[in-house]
Amino acid sequence: MKSLISLVVVIGFAIAGCGGYGGYGSPQTTPQAAPPVSGEIGVTASYAKFQPSRVEVNKDKPAHLKLTSADTNHTFTVDELGINVSIPAGKTVTQEITVNKTGTYSFYCAVPGHRQAGMQGSLEVK
Ligand SMILES: [Cu+2]
């Protein structure tokens, strides 16, 4: 009787699996989010501030910026480094940056009026 119960469980999973994927093809082909990597830095933009407003990265080491807008459209802009990433309202975008020169750089939101309202911070490269 034990083996029969096992079989029923297996069939149950198989049916649930088919229903769950709804015919969108093999679940193995579903793109997976990249696993968290060291050097991932989350920054949340909301009017009118960045949280955190101070970000540290290591020179010559790729840093993964995970930029989230908590409200409206923003940008993450660093003029000296040629970085200008749009962050659509309510979305999270990731941007890899590698800076090869130590120093303190200013980042800000380029949406008119946002920087003036306080959407700026410093990017420290060590
Ligand atoms: Cu903004």
Cβ contacts of 123 within 8 Å, gap of 6 or more: 55, 56, 57, 78, 81, 99, 104, 105, 106, 107
- How much distance in Å is there from the Cα of 39 to the middle of ligand 1? 24
pTM: 0.70
- How much distance in Å is there from the Cα of 53 to the middle of ligand 1? 13
Extended beta strands in 60-99, E state: 63-69, 74-78, 83-87, 92-97
pLDDT tens per residue, range 6-48: 444 444 444 444 444 444 544 555 555 555 455 799 999 999 9
What number does CATH give the domain 40-125? Answer: 2.60.40.420
More confident call, 16 vs 56? 56
**Taking every pair of C-alpha atoms in the chain, what is the biggest distance, in angstroms?**
73
Question: Would you kindly state where each structural domain of the chain is located, as residue ranges?
Answer: 40-125
Structure confidence at residue 117 (pLDDT): 98
